[in-house]
Chain A
Amino acid sequence: MTALQVVFLIIAVVTLGAALMVVTTRNLVHAALWLVVTLFGVAVLYVLLDAGFLAVAQVIIYIGAIAILFIFAVMLTRRVASDNIPQTNNNWGWAALVAVVFLGGLAWVLRPWQGFSTQASELSSRADPLRELGQALVSPNAYVIPFEVASVLLLAALIGAIMVAWERK
């Protein structure tokens, strides 16, 4: 086992553990905080995957915006004395079953695939993922349109969110 693998395992455990805590804890604020941990774990994974920009973007966007948004939402929709009741509904058995089957199914399907155990290839030194990503996102031959559309989407979401949550007086 190489050091990389150990690191990976630790990160994996942390991430998965935090994820489990997100979905099982009774206190919603705790859940949001565990979510933050999970997102951090994922950011570290990105680093491991040589996607540095994505890691940073993950931290900024997910943790900095989304997780905060979650905390806001939890705060805004608080009910009195609701922190100790179980947070799982009546169908949690079925849900667990489905989740496990999904996992099992995915594993089962992926195993015969010969690409399953490939090792990572060496990145070419010439490559600069960040610059390529930047160029890809604004280049007309590449992904400028999805980029712009994503922008419009964000705008729409922004306006939509405001409209939906506008408090009518």
Chain B
Amino acid sequence: MIPLSWYLMLAAGLFSVGLFGVLARKNAVAILMGVELMLNAVNVNLVAFWRYRTPEVIAGQAFAIIVFAVAAAEVAVGLALIISIYRRRNTVVADEIDMLKL
């Protein structure tokens, strides 16, 4: 059988990859893709724990459903923002969107 650790490590790996994508990609859309990867890793983690630790309580899956919803909302808004910024500044390179700089 598959030990829990395998799932957890898979989730961790997916999370790390997503983290790398967030931190290292230029394109803002690519960054959001990384965010999606991380969210998926979280979901995998949640479901794995549900299945292996408390399968009789449905809370794990409910949590995962909520995460789905939030992820979707977040992607929608994020991409809307990116498109808006693209229209204003004609760029989607994260490094060029540095209006927070002093």
Q: List A residues at the B interface (Cβ < 8 Å).
A: 2, 4-5, 8, 12, 15-16, 19-20, 22-23, 28, 31-32, 35, 38-39, 42, 45-46, 48-51, 53-54, 57-58, 61-62, 65-66, 69-70, 72-74, 76-77, 79, 86-92, 94-96, 98-100, 102-103, 106-107, 110, 115-121, 123-124, 127, 129, 132-133, 136-137, 142-143, 146-147, 150-151, 153-154, 156-158, 160-162, 164-165, 167
Contact = CB atoms under 8 A, between A and B. Distances in A.
A148 to B, nearest CB: 11
B22 to A, nearest CB: 8
A92 B22 CA distance: 10
Interface string B12-30: 1111111111111111111
Contacts of A28: 27, 29-30
Contacts of A167: 87
Interface of B: 1-10, 12-30, 32-34, 36-37, 40, 43-44, 47-48, 50-53, 55-56, 58-59, 61-62, 64-66, 68-77, 79-84, 86-87, 91-92, 94-95
Contact of B84 (A39, A110, A164): A164
A92 B29 CA distance: 17
Contacts of A121: 52, 55
A66 B65 contact: no
A61 B19 contact: no
B48 A49 contact: yes
Given A5-B2, A73-B82, A76-B86, A120 B51 contact: yes
Q: Is the interface of B mostly helix, strand, loop or mixed?
A: helix
A65 B91 CA distance: 24
Which 3 A/B pairs are nearest by Cβ-Cβ distance?
A95-B23, A157-B73, A23-B21
Nearest to B34: A23
Given A74-B29, A127-B56, A162 B37 contact: no
A5 B14 CA distance: 18
A152 to B, nearest CB: 10
